[in-house]
Amino acid sequence: MGAALAAPLLARHGWAQSNDWPKGPVRWVVAYAAGGAADTVARNVAARVAEIIGQQVLIDNRTGGNSLVAETAVLQAPHDGQTFLVDAANQLTNEFLIKDIPFNYEKTWLPVTLLSIFPQVVAVKDEFPAKTIQEFIAAAKAKPDTISYGTPPAAGMAHMAGEALQKQAGIKLIHTPYRGGADAARDIGAGAIDSVIITTSSIRPPLANKKARVLAVTSAKRAATFPDVPTLAESGFPGFDMNDWNGLFAAEGTPAPLIQRMNQAVVEACKDVKVKERLDPSGAELVANSPAEFGAWLKAQRALLGKLIADANIKLG
């Protein structure tokens, strides 16, 4: 099924078994492959959660189908607070990209917490003449449909950020989708594409080799790993905030008190300095907000992304 994280310790912090939860090992079904950024966050947070609740947290990686494989696995399990889903942008975009999904995302999936965000960068190959995001936009306006930008993958959050930037800046770029951020980073390092929108961790190899330059970040605030790089929001696009991310969800019917208790455990885990230190190399920024805050954020993002997909006629590919 997956790896057991942290042997059960003595129940602490009021999480005694007499409270009827958890009734045994808790399972987090992760919609992404082991070793990736989303999985790394889930494993590190879950290990601390296991200590807090006094039970194992099992990580169960179920990839494929734009998260539908993982989502189906959670829906087929009892909705009793013992099984949760770690998912990301597919929660917001699948309904606009895939026909005949057998459930309604907004009704079926209950927000537990936004686990983390992964700030993204707009970067250019070293030979590209632009030294600032304003110069990049000016170059794109001067020669529409000639500058390429790579993202991982088609219809992912980087692609969405690229479409949002083009719309707000009034430019036209050539989109090149990749399977992963490492592939896009490799090609910009080789000079095969002009620019990329990838996470702060993915851009590091070509940046270290002086084969790329970071012009801006897509998050609302400057990224901790690139404090001197301006945001798009402060570069002429107020309100621009589009990161990669992952969050924890429960299936419809899961008792609200159990969702709240899992949220409390995750919030406590994300405050742990050691958890943060282990995740710093991945570029992840822990969030751990409330179910209500996460739900409001999802609603706003769903509306934004749905419009972007329709306006840009984005298809899976």
Same domain, 263 and 299: yes
Same domain, 198 and 153: yes
Q: What is the pLDDT of residues 289-305, one digit of tens each?
A: 999 999 999 999 999 99
Looking up residue 224, the CATH number of its domain turns out to be 3.40.190.10
> Which domain-ending residue is among 168, 200, 235?
235
Same domain, 228 and 128: yes
Residue 157 lies in a domain: yes
Same domain, 158 and 207: yes
Residue 78 lies in a domain: yes
Q: What are phi and psi of 25, to 5 degrees?
A: -55, 140
> Which domain-ending residue is among 209, 235, 261?
235
**Residue 8 clears pLDDT 60, i.e. is over it:** no
> CB burial class (10 A; 0-12, 13-18, 19+) of residue 238?
exposed
At residue 179, the pLDDT reads 85
Nearest to 251 by CA among 21, 27, 2: 27
At residue 154, the pLDDT reads 86
Torsion sign over Cα 234, 149, 199, 243: positive
Same domain, 109 and 251: yes
Pairing of strands 83-87, 244-251: antiparallel
The CA distance from 59 to 158, in Å, is 26
Same domain, 101 and 250: yes
Looking up residue 15, the CATH number of its domain turns out to be 3.40.190.150
> Which domain-ending residue is among 235, 256, 290?
235
Instruction: Show Cβ contacts of residue 174 under 8 Å, excluding neighbours closer than 6 positions.
Output: 145, 146, 147, 148, 149
Q: What is the pLDDT of residues 173-211, one digit of tens each?
A: 999 999 889 999 999 999 999 999 999 999 999 999 999
Secondary structure (3-state) at 30: strand
Global confidence as pTM: 0.89
Same domain, 69 and 79: yes
Same domain, 84 and 163: no
Residue 254 lies in a domain: yes
Per the structure, the complete domain to which residue 45 belongs is given by 3-118+243-312
The CA distance from 107 to 69, in Å, is 18
Same domain, 143 and 291: no
Same domain, 114 and 257: yes
**Residue 170 clears pLDDT 90, i.e. is over it:** yes
Nearest to 20 by CA among 261, 291, 311: 261
Residue 213 lies in a domain: yes
Average pLDDT, whole number, for the chain? 92
The CA distance from 126 to 160, in Å, is 24
Q: What is the pLDDT of residues 104-155, one digit of tens each?
A: 999 999 999 999 999 999 999 999 999 999 999 999 999 999 999 999 988 9
At residue 9, the pLDDT reads 41
**Residue 306 clears pLDDT 50, i.e. is over it:** yes
Structurally, how many domains does the chain consist of?
2
In one letter, which amino acid is 38? A
Torsion, Cα of 42, 196, 218, 213 (10° steps): 110
Same domain, 191 and 172: yes
